[in-house]
Amino acid sequence: MTTVKTAAVLGAGVMGAQIAAHLANAGVPTLLLDVSADAAREGLERGKRLKPDPFFTSDAHTLVSTGGLHDLSGLQGRDWIIEAIVEQVEVKRPLLERLEPFVTDTVLLSSNTSGIPIASLAAGRSDQFRRRWLGTHFFNPPRYLPLLEIIPTSETDASAIEAIAGFADRRLGKGVVVAKDTPGFIANRIGLFGLMQVFRVLAGGTYTVEEVDAITGPATGRPKSATFRTMDLAGLDILAHVTRGLAERLDGDERREFTVPPVVEELLRRGWTGTKSGRGFYLKDPTGEIRALNLDTFTYEPAGRPRLPALDAARSIEDTAARLKVLFTGEDRVGEFLRATLAPTLLYAARIGPGVAYSPDDVDRAMRWGFGWELGPFETLRAIGVDAVAAALGKAQQDPADILSAALPASTTWGTPPGGADPALTRSGGGPTLKLARASRGVLRRNPGASLVDLGDGVLAVEFHTKLNTIGGDTIEMLGAGVKEAEANFQALVVGNDATNFSAGANLMLLLLEAQEGNWDEVDLMVRAFQRATMGLKHAGVPVIVCPAGLTLGGGCEIALHAAHVQAAAETYMGLVEVGVGLIPAGGGTKELLARAMEELPPAADALPFVQRVFETIGFARVSTSGPDARRIGLLRGADGITMNRERLLSRGKAAALARVAGFVPAQPRTAIPVGGPSTLAALKLGVHMAWRAGRISEHDALIGRKLAWILSGGGAPNAGTLTEGQLLDLEREAFLSLCGEPRTLERIAHTLKTGKTLRN
């Protein structure tokens, strides 16, 4: 099977440059070509400036080289060549003809077209070319959206399909779905149809932009950006282009479903294309206030929170499927909207499913990975029920209940990919997730904050399940219980979850309430309990593997810092951010980063540069932009692992745990951690003072900085002295408690809880 060690991307537009960037993220040297070498370099530079950043680290772009399409000699020996030029058949075909000299029985050839028939592009090419040819439709932005639709033709070798699927899954972190060579493939076809239903209802004038986004956001298992914020981000011009392109390739009645809505046409006429033009369905005014489009007057008004009581009532229902059913069947405006938009979308997915995909599961995965739906169309149908959806649709020429029911059996398949390729290339998600483990082995113990789950093969898991997986007393209790249970009855312990975010940190509301009441003994007990929990993980008698992903902040980061090994997702945003709420890390994070830095200190060397690095990481509340970036700033160690595919994270964590069982030796308490002493303290305090004098930090920031400097210099220890881990933990706790007594700290905590933003008072 072909192994992808090198690649080339033809076309340095927004998509081509970002595909090249993500190949570089995976460590693959990539050649990026455009009409000229200068155009390719400009495309790469534009990519480097994009937000969100397509690169994991600031130096990842060095793996991308550039050149002009006039010279294709650099394609010689490339394992994967991806065509990503302008969406015009008459331009693509001549370029593909020029690729013939580089085709071998192992090279992979693909197009990133979003809708042009894959087989038609290869018409006239050699038999060998057509065997290695297929579509690889990345979703934008390629780094962040998991979906990769692979579109083989009837002539594509199974080995080519499986080679790209395997590489994309494990190295690029993609959720791979094999689609049929039809207009729009799977996700865009269904996603755009659903969007057209929203515009159809919107045209009735009974719903506002804000109301639609409130309904089609997290409340119904969709992304926070919902409908219109997403369109603004993607670009209304892109929406119109894709819609027109899809309509051109469809026939009859279906073509009429894909018409650019009049409101979008009007916005484009005015040049209001969304975020890139400064306005679309939303506008951010000079004061930073978000304004929403009034569809009657085409003016912008302050975007308020819509009054939709059904959404407020449904917030207490944690399970998405149960919440969606309640909202869909409700006799109110939310229910009316969902029945008018979601019901026809589910019917459409059932009607076209056999023509675009190889199974209902593939349709569900495509919508989850490509459009951020928590539940795909058929998962949604199961949640709501066929009868309820059919009732919302009424009678058609063919009873919708029959169509919907036919697509539901778990065993339903709609064919096999060409060449006998495995139709279930990534069905398992890479191994035992917590959901599967709970279903097969059950939960050993549970409280409101976390659970103990048997992952099998002698591996126990601690799973967090609070909102944003914030850490409170229940979570801390379960961490301790997990260590004891693992030491008694298991071989290893994994700490992780299937949620988007590993942990957003400590439960600030609980801390604020105790501090406002002056319950200092309670606060002290809370901090001591967390310190015991993290140190318990560090000194456990079995390997402890922590598997962070998404937000891994504050206390979440401290948990990871105390693991025997960290297996992080590539998209891990990790940092000790306590200074933002007027505090310092006190769950062992300050101690641990200092101890790690001192391990690198050469004999008789000046400690200041090593301590300074830790001071800046904590004092500037640095948060990694990725897993590799967390390694760069010292929050992950070189031996820690990074998993590109989020769905494989826990299985990789389990494998890492089992690999460490034989011969495992628990970490011993550090008894002599070098500290800089008074000279280091003086240097750090001088830096804090100068920053305050220059107006770069507030007076309260300066206070926090001095306390952090006191800990990192050893809290009064002599020059070239040492402290134990316990002594450093005491210094952490003392500083934390004293800062909890500062009114400005409490103001920061309250502001963060209310707004989600940092207050620099």
Please report whether residue 492 resides in a domain.
yes
Which residues are registered as beta bridge partners of 546?
Answer: 495, 566
First to last CA, the chain: 59
Question: Are 30 and 23 a contacting pair, CB within 8 Å?
Answer: yes
Do 127 and 193 belong to one domain?
Answer: no
pLDDT tens figures, 351-387: 999 999 999 999 999 999 999 999 999 999 999 999 9
Dump pLDDT digits (tens) for 383-438. Answer: 999 999 999 998 766 788 888 888 887 667 888 888 666 655 544 445 557 888 88
The CATH number given to whatever domain includes residue 214 is 1.10.1040.50
Q: Do the Cβ atoms of 717 and 675 come closer than 8 Å?
A: yes
> Which residue is listed with tokens 């002009």?
68
Look at residue 1 in the predicted model and tell me its pLDDT: 57
407 against 751, higher pLDDT: 751
Q: Do 221 and 354 lie in a common domain?
A: yes
Please, which residues have CB within 8 angstroms of residue 349's CB and are 6 or more apart in sequence? 190, 363, 377, 378, 407
Cα separation values, 312 from 323, 559, 660, Å: 11, 34, 47
Confidence of residue 3 (pLDDT cuts 50, 70, 90): confident
**Residue where one domain finishes, among candidates 124, 146, 178:** 178
Is there a contact between 560 and 552 (Cβ–Cβ < 8 Å)?
A: yes
Q: What does the alpha-carbon distance between residue 276 and residue 235 come to, in Å, rounded to a whole number? A: 7
Residue 300 to residue 290: CA distance in whole angstroms: 9
Average pLDDT over every residue of 56-67: 96
State residue 411's pLDDT score.
65
The pLDDT of residue 90 is above 90? yes
Q: What is the pLDDT of residues 429-488, one digit of tens each?
A: 455 578 888 888 889 999 999 999 999 999 999 999 998 999 999 999 999 999 999 999
How many separate domains does the chain show?
Answer: 4
Residues 33 and 171 in one domain: yes
**591 inside domain:** no
In sequence order, the 6+-apart residues with CB closer than 8 A to the CB of 601 are 607, 610, 674
Does the pLDDT at position 91 exceed 90? yes
Task: For residue 142, name the pLDDT band (cuts at 50, 70, 90).
Answer: very high
Do 358 and 444 lie in one domain? The reply is: no
Q: How many CB atoms lie within 10 A of CB 271?
A: 10
Instruction: Give pLDDT, residue 426.
Output: 47
Same domain? For 373 and 439 the reply is no
Count of beta carbons in the 10 Å neighbourhood of residue 401 = 17
Question: Is position 667 within any domain?
Answer: no
Whether 50 is in a domain gets the answer yes
Model confidence at 578: pLDDT above 80: yes
Please give the pLDDT value at position 428.
Answer: 44
pLDDT tens digits for 69-88?
999 999 999 999 999 999 89
For residue 258, what pLDDT is reported? 94
pLDDT, average across residues 273-290 = 90
Are 285 and 203 contained in the same domain?
yes
Instruction: Pick the range with the lowest mean pLDDT from 144-153, 414-423, 556-565.
Output: 414-423
In this structure, the answer to whether residues 289 and 194 fall within a common structural domain is yes
Residue-number span of the structural domain to which 684 is assigned? 673-755
State if pTM tops 0.85. Answer: yes
Indicate whether 191 and 333 sit together in one domain. Answer: yes
Phi-psi sector, 165: left (phi>0), alpha (psi -120 to 50), beta:
alpha
Q: Is position 427 within any domain?
A: no
- In percent, the amount of the chain with pLDDT more than 70 equals 97
Give the pLDDT confidence score for residue 285 in this predicted structure. 86
Mean pLDDT of 82-99: 95
Mean pLDDT, the chain, integer: 93
Residue 688, domain member (yes or no)? yes
Q: Do 537 and 444 sit in the same domain of this protein? A: yes
pLDDT digits (tens, 9 = 90+) for 205-221: 999 999 999 999 999 99
Q: Is the pLDDT of residue 340 over 60?
A: yes
Amino acid at 18: Q
Among candidate residues 251, 145, 244, the one with its CA nearest the CA of residue 196: 244
Determine if the peptide bond prior to 377 is cis (ω within 30°).
no
Per-residue tokens: 349: 């997915």
Q: In what order do the strands lie in the sheet with 64-68?
A: 64-68, 30-34, 7-10, 80-83, 108-111, 133-138, 147-152, 175-178
Q: What CATH number does the domain containing 138 carry?
A: 3.40.50.720
